[in-house]
Amino acid sequence: MDVTSLIERLPGAYFRCLCDQQWTMLNITSDIERITGYTPEELVCQQPKAFADIIHPDDVPVAHNAIIEAMGQRRSYSLRYRLRTRWGEYRWCWEQGIGVCDADGRLVWIEGFLTDISDQCGSEAELTTLMSEQRHELALNQRLMEQYKKAVDTSVIVSKTDLEGRITYVNDEFCRISGFLREELIGQTHALVRHADTLDATFVDMWRTIRAGDVWKGVIQNRNKLGHSYYVNSTMLPIFNDQGVISEFMSVRHDVTDLIETETLLRRQTTDALTGLPNRQKLLSDLTGETQSSLALINIIDFSEVNEYFGYRTGDRLLQHLAVLLDNSLEPGMQLYRLAGDEFAVLQRTSAPQGVFEQFCLQLIRMVESRGIQVDDQEFSISIAVGSASGGNAFIEADIALHRAREHQCSFEVFDGDSRLKQQIESNIRWVKRIRDAIREDRIEVYAQPIIDARDGTVAKYECLMRLVDEDGKIYTPYFFLEAAQRARLYTDLTRIVIARSFSFFSEREDVFSINLTARDILNTETADLLLEQAQETGVAQRLILELVESEGIENFEKVRCFLERARAIGCRIAVDDFGTGYSNFEYLLKLDIDYIKIDGSLIRHVDVDKNSRIVAETVVDFARRLGLLTIAEFVHSEGVKSVVEEMGVDYLQGFLLGEPMPLSNIEHIATTALQAELSVTPLPLVP
Per-residue confidence (pLDDT) for residue 132, from 0 to 100: 63
pLDDT, tens digit (0-9, with 9 covering 90-100), for 11-30: 789 899 888 888 888 888 88
CATH 3.30.450.20 domain range(s) in the chain:
3-153, 157-255
| pLDDT over threshold 70, residue 141 | no
* Phi and psi at residue 63, to the nearest 5°: -65, -45
- Beta strands 216-223 and 167-170, pairing class: unpaired
Share of the chain above pLDDT 70, in %: 85
Sheet holding 229-240, edge to edge: 167-170, 156-161, 246-255, 229-240, 216-223
Please tell me whether the peptide bond between 61 and the residue prior to it is cis, using omega within 30 degrees of 0: no
Per-residue confidence (pLDDT) for residue 223, from 0 to 100: 92
CATH topology of domain 291-416: Alpha-Beta Plaits (3.30.70)
Per-residue confidence (pLDDT) for residue 679, from 0 to 100: 41
Confidence of residue 677 (pLDDT cuts 50, 70, 90): very low
Per-residue confidence (pLDDT) for residue 274, from 0 to 100: 87
d(CA 334, CA 322): 17
CATH 3.30.70.270 domain range(s) in the chain:
291-416
Q: What is the mean pLDDT of residues 195-202?
A: 86
Q: What is the mean pLDDT of residues 151-160?
A: 77
* Phi and psi at residue 578, to the nearest 5°: 55, 30
Per-residue confidence (pLDDT) for residue 188, from 0 to 100: 92
pLDDT, tens digit (0-9, with 9 covering 90-100), for 80-129: 999 999 988 999 999 999 998 887 888 888 999 999 988 766 555 555 56
Q: What is the mean pLDDT of residues 295-306?
A: 89
Mean pLDDT of the chain: 84
| pLDDT over threshold 50, residue 419 | no
Residue 342 identity (one-letter amino acid)? D
pLDDT, tens digit (0-9, with 9 covering 90-100), for 69-78: 998 888 889 9
- Helices H, strands E: what count in the chain? 25, 27
Confidence of residue 632 (pLDDT cuts 50, 70, 90): very high
- Beta strands 334-340 and 246-255, pairing class: unpaired
Per-residue confidence (pLDDT) for residue 288, from 0 to 100: 84
Confidence of residue 673 (pLDDT cuts 50, 70, 90): very low
CATH 3.20.20.450 domain range(s) in the chain:
445-465+492-679
Per-residue confidence (pLDDT) for residue 144, from 0 to 100: 64
More confident residue, 505 or 132: 505
Per-residue confidence (pLDDT) for residue 584, from 0 to 100: 46
Per-residue confidence (pLDDT) for residue 652, from 0 to 100: 96
The residue count for the chain = 688
CATH of domain 157-255: 3.30.450.20
Least trusted range by pLDDT, from 255-264, 538-547, 581-590, 650-659: 581-590
Per-residue confidence (pLDDT) for residue 423, from 0 to 100: 65
Confidence of residue 676 (pLDDT cuts 50, 70, 90): very low
SS3 of 339, please? Answer: strand
Highest-confidence range of 362-376, 449-463, 471-485, by mean pLDDT? 449-463
Residue 291's DSSP bridge partners are none
Question: How much is the CA Rg of the chain, to the nearest whole Å?
Answer: 30
How far is CA 17 from each of CA 23, 67, 111, rounded to the nearest angstrom?
Answer: 6, 12, 7
- Residue spans of alpha helices (H) in 231-377: 257-267, 280-287, 303-310, 312-328, 356-370
| pLDDT over threshold 70, residue 150 | no
Residue 576 identity (one-letter amino acid)? V
| pLDDT over threshold 50, residue 674 | no
Q: What is the mean pLDDT of residues 136-164?
A: 72
Q: Which residues contact 136 (CB under 8 A, 6 or more apart)?
A: none
Q: What is the mean pLDDT of residues 359-372?
A: 90
Residue 618 identity (one-letter amino acid)? E
Per-residue confidence (pLDDT) for residue 454, from 0 to 100: 93
Confidence of residue 483 (pLDDT cuts 50, 70, 90): confident
Per-residue confidence (pLDDT) for residue 46, from 0 to 100: 67
Instruction: Give the DSSP letter of residue 87.
Output: T
d(CA 64, CA 199): 41
- C-alpha closest to that of 506 among 636, 283, 679: 679
CA 139 to chain centre: 38
Confidence of residue 391 (pLDDT cuts 50, 70, 90): confident
CATH of domain 445-465+492-679: 3.20.20.450
Confidence of residue 197 (pLDDT cuts 50, 70, 90): confident
Confidence of residue 489 (pLDDT cuts 50, 70, 90): confident
| pLDDT over threshold 70, residue 130 | no
Tell me which long-range contacts 97-106 makes (C-beta under 8 A, separation of at least 24): 97/15, 97/67, 97/70, 99/19, 99/70, 99/71, 99/74, 101/74, 102/169, 103/182, 106/169
Least trusted range by pLDDT, from 193-207, 462-476, 570-584: 570-584
> How do the residues of the chain divide into helix, strand and coil, expressed in percent and rounded to 5?
45, 25, 30
CATH topology of domain 3-153: Beta-Lactamase (3.30.450)
| pLDDT over threshold 90, residue 438 | yes
SS3 of 525, please? Answer: helix
Other CB atoms within a 10 A radius of the CB of residue 406 amount to 15
Q: What is the mean pLDDT of residues 322-343?
A: 90
